[in-house]
């Protein structure tokens, strides 16, 4: 239904219009009524009716002012029918020279208004249909124009027309992007095209069904293209229909479009033959080197995450690594070499916890095959993910077994070497453990933090020496691990409530008694 708004400062006129006319018969629905111009203007902006019936003489804002303000406020203002008395005939003609499509003289005749609605209903419907078809027509026009350009048609008049239609005056720096989804080109190309909003109005489909876009280089710098490439790859990979996006170099003016298209097309064919998806730049820019480095960096983070046993972070690091890899120019051989290095590192970790890496790797190869047989990134990614998760489980179990034995070894070592210069970091290094984790296990087993336990053992030995030997206090301090006598005195009093000399005197008094 088309929306119609009724505006008149006389309520009886509004009621008559609403009730005397069969609006729905002609495809209209009354969406609102207004008794004055300001209210009518607000309702027009809010409800966006296709047609407004308005009186000319109204308080605050006249009918003519309502038409004028609507035209200023809206991109597509409604059409207006003027309601006028005989004395206002010339005034109505003025309105007709504006946006008003017709006028009716009061009192309104039912047959006259229904005849007008029949005419306007068809007219407005046709106009709306034409508006809706415009984007499609323009898209077809641009597609035809760009295909003529990229196929090598160099007619100067045609290129001038293309520059004007694509809003590319002068000699702007341009890029060509090709988006190849392999299957279901129309729907997926539309989805991928949504990422390149800067190319709105400059999309095309080549003869093979690839979607192309002409970009102004200044609108979308290389760094932003990298971000889009990662986003495109992630979204479409989740749909199991990844895209291959190839980007040409930069050249000036509409006359360079064929060369830019061929650059993107050649790169597309090379990467398609290699089985790759993602974003690729013509000429291997510095970004490709950075992306290859990012892949290596993420893979080299994995051993630490595997030992920590955090599957979510492992998965995230692998996603980032392979997303970066798809945007690099690296061949599969280079990716396999990094994966082999990861295998070696994980095996060393496993051996460090007294595991058997040979048994582990034989099982992995039996279930997944060897690295040498992996010919594409998708297979390699699945393997690396499984390798890391399986290694995390294996190393976690080895750690649990060894830690229960190791912590007792640490406590026994501290009990025997408390007089030496002991630090938690030194012990952690000696027993191949993380310092913070060792501290947690030590407290869990002894009930005391490491330093508190160490001081307790030293003070216990100092009390024994005070009781059984004639050694000087400074000698006892050094013997139990306190080179600084004052510090020993402070720790002893903190633990016993008295100084060592008082403690020794009390022992002697007890013996005398």
Q: Is 82 helix (H, G, I), strand (E, B) or coil?
A: strand
Q: Which of 323, 298, 315 is nearest to 392 (CA)?
A: 315
Pair 60, 21 in one domain: yes
- Which whole-number Å values give the CA distances from 117 to 55, 176, 294, 368, in the listed order? 17, 50, 67, 74
> Which of residues 283, 307, 338 is at a domain's end?
283
Is residue 191 included in any domain, yes or no?
yes
Q: Are 438 and 413 a contacting pair, CB within 8 Å? A: no
- Which whole-number Å values give the CA distances from 87 to 57, 64, 84, 98, in the listed order? 11, 16, 8, 19
Is residue 399 included in any domain, yes or no?
no
Pair 87, 163 in one domain: no
Pair 23, 122 in one domain: yes
For the chain, how many structural domains are there in total? 3
Q: Which of 458, 440, 459 is nearest to 450 (CA)?
A: 440
Pair 124, 168 in one domain: no
Q: Is 239 helix (H, G, I), strand (E, B) or coil?
A: coil
Pair 420, 497 in one domain: yes
Length of the chain in residues, anyone? 513
pTM, entire model: 0.40
- Domain that residue 22 falls in: 2-129
Is residue 357 included in any domain, yes or no?
no
Pair 114, 190 in one domain: no
Q: Are 298 and 318 a contacting pair, CB within 8 Å? A: yes
Sequential pLDDT tens for the chain (513 residues):
899 999 999 999 999 889 888 899 989 999 999 999 999 999 999 999 999 999 988 888 888 889 889 988 888 899 999 888 755 566 666 666 666 778 788 888 888 898 899 889 888 888 887 777 555 656 676 778 788 888 878 778 877 887 887 778 888 889 888 888 766 555 555 665 677 766 667 788 888 878 888 888 887 777 777 777 777 777 777 777 777 888 888 888 888 888 898 888 888 887 777 677 777 887 654 455 555 666 667 778 888 899 888 888 888 888 877 766 655 555 677 778 888 888 998 998 888 777 899 999 999 999 988 888 887 778 888 999 999 999 999 998 887 776 667 787 888 889 889 899 899 999 999 888 889 989 998 998 889 999 999 999 999 999 989 988 889 999 999 999 999 999 999 999 999 999 999 998 888 888 766
Q: Residue 440 sits in a domain of what CATH number?
A: 1.10.10.60
Is residue 274 included in any domain, yes or no?
yes
Kindly calculate the radius of gyration of the chain based on its CA atoms and give it in whole angstroms. Answer: 41
CA 143 to chain centre: 31
Is residue 303 included in any domain, yes or no?
no
């Amino acid at each position: 239904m088309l929306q119609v708004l009724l505006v008149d400062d006389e309520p009886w006129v509004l009621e008559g219009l609403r009730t005397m006319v069969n609006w729905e018969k002609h495809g209209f629905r009354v969406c609102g009524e207004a008794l004055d111009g300001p209210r009518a203007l607000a309702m027009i902006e809010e409800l966006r009716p296709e047609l407004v019936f308005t009186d000319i003489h109204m308080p605050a804002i006249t009918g003519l002012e309502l038409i004028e303000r609507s035209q200023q406020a809206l991109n597509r203002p409604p059409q207006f029918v003027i309601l006028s008395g005989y004395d206002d005939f010339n005034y109505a003609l003025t309105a007709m020279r504006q946006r008003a499509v017709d006028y009716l003289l009061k009192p309104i005749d039912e047959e006259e208004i229904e005849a007008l609605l029949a005419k306007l209903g068809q007219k407005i419907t046709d106009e709306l249909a034409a508006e809706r078809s415009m984007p499609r027509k323009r898209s077809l026009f641009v597609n035809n124009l760009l295909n003529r350009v990229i196929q090598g048609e160099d007619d100067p008049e045609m290129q001038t027309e293309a520059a004007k239609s694509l809003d590319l005056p002068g000699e702007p720096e341009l890029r060509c992007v090709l988006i190849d989804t392999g299957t279901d080109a129309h729907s997926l190309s539309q989805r991928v095209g949504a990422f390149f909003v800067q190319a709105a109005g400059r999309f095309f489909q080549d003869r093979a069904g690839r979607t192309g876009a002409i970009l102004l280089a200044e609108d979308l710098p290389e760094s932003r293209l990298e971000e889009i490439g990662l986003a495109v790859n992630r979204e479409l990979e989740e749909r199991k229909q990844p895209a291959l996006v190839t980007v040409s170099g930069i050249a000036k003016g509409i006359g360079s479009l064929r060369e830019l298209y061929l650059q993107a097309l050649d790169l597309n064919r090379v990467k398609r033959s290699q089985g790759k998806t993602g974003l690729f730049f013509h000429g291997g820019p510095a970004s490709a080197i950075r992306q290859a480095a990012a892949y290596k960096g993420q893979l080299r983070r994995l051993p630490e995450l595997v030992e920590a046993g955090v599957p979510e972070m492992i998965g995230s690091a692998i996603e980032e690594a392979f997303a970066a890899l798809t945007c690099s120019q690296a061949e599969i051989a280079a990716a396999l070499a990094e994966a082999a290095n990861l295998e070696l590192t994980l095996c060393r970790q496993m051996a460090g916890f007294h595991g058997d890496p040979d048994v582990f790797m034989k099982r992995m190869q039996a279930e997944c095959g060897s690295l040498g047989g992996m010919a594409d990134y998708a297979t390699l990614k699945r393997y690396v993910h499984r390798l890391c998760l399986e290694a995390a489980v294996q190393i976690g179990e080895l750690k649990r077994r060894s830690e229960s034995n190791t912590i007792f070894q640490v406590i026994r070592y501290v009990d025997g070497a408390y007089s030496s210069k002991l630090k938690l970091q030194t012990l952690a290094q000696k027993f191949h453990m993380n310092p913070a984790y060792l501290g947690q296990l030590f407290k869990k087993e002894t009930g005391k933090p490491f330093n508190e336990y160490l001081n307790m053992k030293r003070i216990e030995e100092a009390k024994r020496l005070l009781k059984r030997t004639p050694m000087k206090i400074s000698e006892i301090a050094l013997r139990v691990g306190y080179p600084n006598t004052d510090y020993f005195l402070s720790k002893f009093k903190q633990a016993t409530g008295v100084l060592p000399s008082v403690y020794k005197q009390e022992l002697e008094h007890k013996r005398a008694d």
